[in-house]
Structure 1
Amino acid sequence: MKNDNSNSRRKFLQQIGATSLVAASSPFASLANQAKAEERILQYDRKITANDKIRIGVIGYGVQGHFDLNTALKVPGVELAGICDLYTGRIDNAKEKYGNDLFTTNNYKDILDRKDIDAVLICTTDVWHARITLDALAKGKHVYCEKPMVYKINEGYPVMAAAKKSGKVLQVGSQRVSSIGYAKAKELLAAGEIGKLNMVNAVYDRQSSIGSWEYTIPKDADAMTTNWDKFIEVTEKMAFDAKKFFWWRAFKEVGTGVAGDLFIHLLSGSHFITNSKGPESIYSTGQLSYWKDGRNLPDVMSGVMQYPDSPEHSAYQLTLQVNFISGTGGQEVIRLVGSEGIIDVIGNNITVKHSLMPEAPGFGGYDSLFTFSKSMQDEMQKEYDAKWTPEQRKRKTKEDIIFKVPAGYDDHLDHFTNFFDSIRTGKKVIEDAEFGFRAAAPALACNDSYFSKKIVHWDPVNLKLK
């Protein structure tokens, strides 16, 4: 019955509409009988139109390459012009999906040489991101590069310089920063809804083999079908290993582990919401708890970062957590903790809870007062009562709020729409090279800290290791 009521209520909210936010007619019920919360649906009425045709090429047609291409093609006026992948089976898959006339290749430079391609989606192994991005910009292509933007911190500087020099659009693929939910969290924080920010707790847990990157490996995988020599062209020389090709995120030689895959989502999201330039100290630790499949990067990892007081925000501490064998079943939460409440960003939805301290200081109860002599207790009680009114001793209350995005909302589509809008209009993208590097550098520093067992010191203003 509860589910039926919730569904009916959701349909009602969608039907009546509003110019800004839609408030529920009845309060949100809590099983714990806590303070009642008002539920609101975030307005979303974005019209996507095609001003100009944009032809794209995909470089790296694996899991994310498929997702990115499928989403990009939902934007009107975007057309597929070519696909590149090293594994022959994925070339076959591309032709099966888009026809034998589709241009395909196992050499990304063939995509860049095509004059009918305006933009490329770089969805390759992390170790290839910087080189392909630099080559694409040099060829005059707009670039959508999956996160992390770079594999090593020192690769970020030439990429930022090339993006600036080229005049082309570069968008990094942490799609949550285009979410209307994140935009609402940013607005609430800036408005002082939870007082002064002092901590951010960010968690991205999973509990599945696929979530832990144990993807299915095709039966025909070998050094020839994967073009292994090309694959390791930018790495140390390694004997063929199907896991390193298809489970590459789990191996430091070609991937960046949970830091580059999931910490970076939490970093880019929290940076967007807080307007932060980044942390000044970074420490990370981890372990291999369950997925002992040959990987050399941890499956449980935590990080602690200290963000300095700045014009953008007050000083705060950020904790990061990824657990690939979490009994929660998996969760993705960014919790912003302030002096007067919390904002929980759960997926694209927002929950705001308030807790306000009374104006008067604490006195009595679990206090040292009762340990004093009776005469001292009486004297101090009289002084306290004279100074503070009963109203000043009470905790003020403020209604909690739940913000939800409309059913079917897709932040991935919004991120691609922002990318193509920028190509068409010249407006700034949500996640340019500098923003992407400000998220990538601390994430990659977590791996450096994990292996060195040392604190990494970072200059968030000048973007340099100290």
Structure 2
Amino acid sequence: MKKDIAASRRQFLQQIGATSLVAASAPLSSLAAQEKAEERILRYERPVSANDTIRLGVIGYGVQGHFDLATALKVPGVELAGICDLYTGRLDNAKEKFGNELYITRNYKELLARKDIDAVIIATHDVWHARIALDALAAGKHVYCEKPMVYKISQGYPVIAAAKASGKVFQVGSQRVSSLGYAKAKELLAAGEIGKLNMVNAVYDRQSSIGAWEYTIPKDADAMTTDWDRFIAVTGKQIPYDGKKFFWWRAFKEVGTGVAGDLFIHLLSGTHFITNSKGPKSIYSTGQFSYWKDGRNLPDVMSGVMQYPDSPEHAAFQLTLQVNFISGTGGQEVIRLVGSEGVIDVIGNNISVRHSLMPEAPGFGGYDSLFTFSQRIQDEMKQEYDAKWTADQRKRPVKADIVYKAPEGYSDHLDHITNFFDAVRTGKVVVEDAAFGFRAAAPALSCNDSFLSKKIVHWDPASMKLVV
């Protein structure tokens, strides 16, 4: 009976593409992707034993902490063991959701000291990521750390070393690297579907106050309810209480990393995954305060240009980055891979492939200098061209465009968090470890450095070092 069910499931998956992408052109559908999709659906058909149970702690229970926890609890065998947050209202919220018996604290070290916690999600303000990650690894916890992995480039090296020495799973939370859509784009690029890559245009625009991080500030917020002194201690500075810096923190360089750390990082991690890149060699960024003039000191419109060198993984290409928080598009997220023979657009978890191939024959006539020659030379050269190149050689070859769509309800966030817990259970290597996370974080943070200094930042992607 079980064999019949498995066979039926396999047939169903192959018919609809399952959680692999559904393609308009079947020949390019990947059987390997279908097998992977089948594995993802069947993964937890077996019972989850007590030995498989993972007890989870959450450090930072704001917007992303809520989303991460909700997704984590969809994975069978994951149990919530405790929540830490500095704002009392969020601890009240946790009790309301999960009951009065839930362990809560405002001191993350107390949560890390608990023996009944196996893994933690770190979803705090950026300025706290590295400190808490190091303490969590030292306490023997597996770590899922939200992006960017670090607040400063200098913090990356000790986190990488600690993750490696700990023997624990460390995964960074940029979920697009676990997306089936990105996996298909990676496959197509490697197969030469758009020829040789030479440029990537990556855009993440928004057009709303919430998108611009103007989150609702609770009416009871003050220095006491937010534990302001503990919060700001990590900066090493005496900063007067400011509700915006606590709740709109991404907009302030003292505690956040702006559009670069919030959204450039997604575009970078996605691009690096698709291209197998280790990173750029030069980084330049510029920005402006266009609309959200609310006291923020990091821009609401920002662009970056990065040059990626020739490497064993890929040919040289240029990456342009864009975030516009008052975009008339209404908001968009797209990574466009431009090659010599076409374009792959990665839009969310869906991708489209368009081709444009050059004819074999060189151009001749039309918007050309030919008509400026004497008529005799024109006639002679046209006769020679016609004799050398056939009509077919002068035509652009035509190749069908393709659209791949993820199935309705597909979640790369669920896949990414599932991959983390699978690694905790089996010891498999995660796709976004500390080194991968740092290779995306460092160029993103360098965009802020470039914007503030108005200089080009030089980076060695192989050694992961700034070049002075």
Q: Indicate the TM-score class for this superposition, using the shorter chain for normalisation.
A: over 0.9
Alignment of 1:23-422 (within 5 A): 43=34, 44-45=37-38, 46=40, 47-49=42-44, 50=48, 52-235=52-235, 236-422=237-423
Query: What amino acid is aligned across from residue 98 of structure 2 in structure 1?
Result: Y
Q: Which runs of 5+ in 2 are unaligned?
A: 1-11
SS across alignment from 1:232: helix
Per the normalisation by structure 2, the TM-score is 0.92
SS across alignment from 1:58: strand
How far, CA to CA, are the matches of 2:80 and 2:17 in structure 1? 37
How far, CA to CA, are the matches of 1:436 and 1:24 in structure 2? 34
Deviation (angstroms), 1:389: 1.2
CA contact (8 A) 1:40 1:402 kept: no
Alpha carbons of structure 1 residues 437 and 39: separation in structure 2 relative to 1, 3 Å: closer
1:231-279 CA distance string (max 9 Å, x none): 0011121000000000000000000000000000000000000000000
CA contact (8 A) 2:211 2:325 kept: yes
How far, CA to CA, are the matches of 1:40 and 1:405 in structure 2? 14
SS across alignment from 1:397: coil
1:62-90 CA distance string (max 9 Å, x none): 00000000000000000000000000000
SS across alignment from 2:204: strand
How far, CA to CA, are the matches of 2:13 and 2:151 in structure 1? 43
CA contact (8 A) 1:332 1:346 kept: yes
1:386-438 CA distance string (max 9 Å, x none): 11111111100000000000100000000011000001111100100000000
Alpha carbons of structure 1 residues 346 and 18: separation in structure 2 relative to 1, 3 Å: closer
Aligned residue pairs: how many? 444
Deviation (angstroms), 1:48: 3.7
CA contact (8 A) 2:335 2:346 kept: yes
How far, CA to CA, are the matches of 1:40 and 1:167 in structure 2? 34
How far, CA to CA, are the matches of 1:276 and 1:15 in structure 2? 31
Mean CA deviation greater in 171-180 or 43-52: 43-52
Alpha carbons of structure 1 residues 16 and 101: separation in structure 2 relative to 1, 3 Å: same
SS across alignment from 1:92: helix
Alpha carbons of structure 1 residues 422 and 15: separation in structure 2 relative to 1, 3 Å: closer
CA RMSD of aligned residues (A): 1.9
CA contact (8 A) 1:39 1:401 kept: no
CA contact (8 A) 2:119 2:141 kept: yes
Query: What amino acid is aligned across from residue 464 of structure 1 in structure 2?
Result: K
Q: Which runs of 5+ in 1 are unaligned?
A: 1-12, 28-37
Counterpart of 1:432 in structure 2 is 433
Deviation (angstroms), 1:17: 2.9
Alpha carbons of structure 1 residues 213 and 22: separation in structure 2 relative to 1, 3 Å: closer
How far, CA to CA, are the matches of 2:376 and 2:406 in structure 1? 59
Counterpart of 2:8 in structure 1 is none
How far, CA to CA, are the matches of 1:433 and 1:24 in structure 2? 37
Mean CA deviation greater in 386-395 or 345-354: 386-395
Identity percentage of aligned residues? 80
How far, CA to CA, are the matches of 2:344 and 2:17 in structure 1? 24
